[in-house]
Amino acid sequence: MPNLTLEDIARQAGVSRSTVSRVVNNHPHTSEAVRTRVMAVINETGYQPNVAARSLASQRTQTIGLVLPHAVSSFFTDPYFPRLLKGISEACNQRDYVLALFLITSKDDEKNIISKVSNRSFLDGVLVQSGHHGDQQIIGRLVDARIPQVVLGRPYRADNVSFVNVDNVRGAYTAVSHLIRLGRRRIATITGPLESTAGSDRKEGYLMALHERGARINTNLVFEGDFTEQGGYYAMQTLLHENPDAVFAASDVMAIGAIRAIKENGKRIPEDIAIVGFDDIHSSTITDLALTTIRQPVFETGVRAVEVLIDLVKNGIGFPQHIILDTKLMVRSSCGSNS
């Protein structure tokens, strides 16, 4: 039955057109009996609501944007992003939202994308993968334009914007505390970029664990990395000169690079150097060395961000929502303990 209209469905279900509209749009003030009768006709006829008409009526586009300001170089290589994108995409699909992806590769891109995502006729709301100082321009423009937005990661200025983040400080603290309990005394760290909140927060957790247990903080055992495997490899080559007996790498990707450098130097893992990562990416358990790591809920981060954003779209921006998700220590053989 081609080109069915709301009137056709209403006539077959024996209800008014407005009742069908309320059912299609999930209006709460509709009896279950009527909803069941209308949905039976919709399912039987294969009726598809006119999405464009629904969007026009609600003044919404049913589209949200995902902006990746600093992730282009690692988007296709870092296992973090496919998992995050999977969570975001599934949450959008379940809620009948379309996801538009924006990768910023230049200053010109940034200007054009800011202009696009600041337009409510184009997008209902925006997710911004952030955590760098440079991202504040995009976030600030969206705040000024009163565009619903949720930041993925802790922004440097968080008082006026909603965000979903993992507890990076507590996760790093847990990792280093575990190494201390195992009797490791010269614990090095390969941080993430310290211009990022994730990098600085994980360094803070490292320092906190050492401080609370009275361990001496040796700045020579702290090396700033860049969340890449090659960065982890280079950092570990330098740290080996300081004879560490353990390393906390602020990402699993960097930990994999560090493992390569340790093995090339003839050191044994975990006998000579224990190592703990952060993320719990898939390759943590499929390499020849099972990596002890901090599991962060990347998929759930994407899902929760979409949930918060849609709430802001439907109910207004209001007060910022700050959601911090827990992490979990996954103990494997790279630290010298299985418990």
CATH code of residue 186: 3.40.50.2300
Beginning with the edge strand found earlier in the chain, give each strand of the sheet holding 222-224 in spatial order: 222-224, 187-191, 246-249, 274-279, 292-295, 328-330
Do residues 245 and 289 share a domain? yes
Is 154 among the domain residues?
yes
Residue 188 has pLDDT above 90, yes or no: yes
> What is the spatial distance between Cα 2 and Cα 245, in angstroms, rounded to a whole number?
71
| Residues 13, 77 within the same domain | no
In a domain, 57, yes or no: no
Mean pLDDT over 222-243 rounds to 96
Residue 26 located in a structural domain: yes
Q: What is the pLDDT of residue 47?
A: 73
Same domain, 195 and 292: yes
CATH code, domain with 13: 1.10.260.40
138 plus 179 within the same structural domain = no
Backbone angles phi, psi at 71, to 5 degrees: -105, 0
Question: What's the confidence (pLDDT) of residue 212?
Answer: 93
Q: Are residues 172 and 286 in the same domain?
A: yes
Cα separation values, 259 from 74, 168, 198, 211, 237, Å: 20, 22, 22, 26, 10
The verdict on 160 and 307 lying in the same domain is yes
Q: What is the mean pLDDT of residues 52-70?
A: 70
Residues 70 and 133 in one domain: yes
Q: For residue 44, what pLDDT is reported? A: 83
Per-residue pLDDT at 265 exceeds 70? yes
Give 305's pLDDT tier (boundaries 50, 70, 90): very high
* 35 or 273, greater pLDDT: 273
pTM comes to 0.80
Is 1 part of a structural domain of the chain? no
pLDDT at residue number 294: 97
| pLDDT tens readout for residues 20-51 | 777 776 665 678 888 888 888 888 887 766 55
Based on the fold, state whether residues 32 and 119 are members of the same structural domain: no
More reliable by pLDDT, 299 or 137? 299
Domain count for the chain, please give it. Answer: 3
Whether residues 177 and 288 share a domain: the answer is yes
Q: Mean pLDDT, the chain, as a whole number?
A: 86
Please state the rounded mean pLDDT for residues 253-280: 96
- Residue 10 in any domain: the answer is yes
- Same domain for 139 and 232? no
What is the domain range of residue 150?
63-166+298-325
